[in-house]
């Protein structure tokens, strides 16, 4: 399975935009890029996903590089509630077990 | 929030005893998953189901079995619990193979 690389942690200030990077240089053409986050003591929460084009929803934006070897999750205006571990995950239609393969993610710290 | 519950939410059991965790959904989603989460690891897939009586193994299935006799219920059984199975267990549901997954609140299992 294609793997992702994320920074262990990032810090940002409240009310500022946050750009969370993810590298996936071995991504295949059928891999979707998913982002989930996990708040303390909770189950993971879906944030956004995409295949090739940039995507927007009420929570965030996903910017996908033209060669698809990297992507960036954008939180437009961080709040203290956005402090969580963010996971960048690839899911493939090319076979193998279903389900998501979680790495260690990026621990996002929001300073007031 | 997606209608997904897990029971029990906390359990302490002794080594060698059988344990069954239940995941219940009210969304009529086809796919259901069991993950475990341990310190220093992301979530790891144990088993998943793609329909009633249709299940398959995930990354860390040894020592676990599952059953799905109804769309709404997915049971995870530890036939003979070991201390290495002390973990937080999350259930997830999804409407389609590459759709977003919705996670339950988790079950904290301690095997003494």
Question: Quick one: pLDDT band at residue A2, thresholds 50, 70, 90?
Answer: low
Neighbours of B12 (CB within 10 A): 10
- Mean pLDDT along residues B48-76: 95
% of chain A beyond a pLDDT of 90: 76
Contact A102/B at CB under 8 A = yes
Distance from C-alpha of A15 to C-alpha of A111, rounded to nearest angstrom: 10
Give the residue with greater pLDDT, A83 vs A3: A83
pLDDT tens string A15-45:
999 999 999 999 988 888 999 999 998 999 9
pLDDT tens digits, B73-109: 999 999 999 999 999 999 999 988 778 899 999 999 9
Label residue A1 by pLDDT band (50, 70, 90).
Answer: low
Q: How close is the nearest chain A Cα to the Cα of B65, in Å?
A: 16
The Cα of B57 is separated from the nearest Cα of chain A by a number of Å equal to 7
Q: Which residues between 50 and 89 in chain A have a beta carbon less than 8 angstroms from any beta carbon of chain B?
A: 87
**For position B100, what pLDDT does the model report?**
87
Residues in B lying within 8 Å of A, measured between beta carbons? 31, 33, 35, 40-45, 48, 50, 56-59, 90, 92, 97-98, 100-106
- Please tell me if residue A96 touches chain B, with a CB cutoff of 8 Å: no
Residue in this structure with the two tokens 């086809």, named with its chain if needed: B30
CB pair distance less than 8 Å for B90 and A93: no
Q: Which residue, among B95, B97, B101, B104, would best test binding to A if mutated, counting the most A CBs under 10 Å from its CB?
A: B101
């Amino acid at each position: 399975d294609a793997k992702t690389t994320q920074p262990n942690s990032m810090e940002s200030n409240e009310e500022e935009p946050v750009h969370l990077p993810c590298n996936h240089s071995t991504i295949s053409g059928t891999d979707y890029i998913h982002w989930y986050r996990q708040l303390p003591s909770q189950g993971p929460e879906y944030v956004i996903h995409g295949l090739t084009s940039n995507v927007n929803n009420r929570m965030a934006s996903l910017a996908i590089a033209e060669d698809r070897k990297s992507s960036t999750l954008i939180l437009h205006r961080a709040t203290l509630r956005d402090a969580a571990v963010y996971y960048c995950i690839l899911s493939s239609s090319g076979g193998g077990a279903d389900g998501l393969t979680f790495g260690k993610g990026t621990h996002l710290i929001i300073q007031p | 929030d997606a209608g997904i519950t897990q029971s029990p939410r906390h359990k302490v059991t002794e080594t060698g005893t059988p344990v069954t965790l239940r995941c219940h959904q009210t969304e009529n989603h086809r796919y259901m998953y069991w993950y475990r989460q341990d310190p220093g690891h992301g979530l790891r897939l144990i088993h998943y189901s793609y329909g009633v009586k249709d299940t398959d193994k995930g990354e860390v299935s040894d020592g676990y079995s599952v059953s799905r006799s109804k769309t709404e219920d997915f049971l995870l059984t530890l036939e003979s619990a070991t201390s290495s199975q002390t973990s937080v267990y999350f259930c997830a549901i999804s409407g389609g193979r590459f759709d977003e997954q919705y996670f339950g609140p988790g079950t904290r299992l301690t095997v003494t």
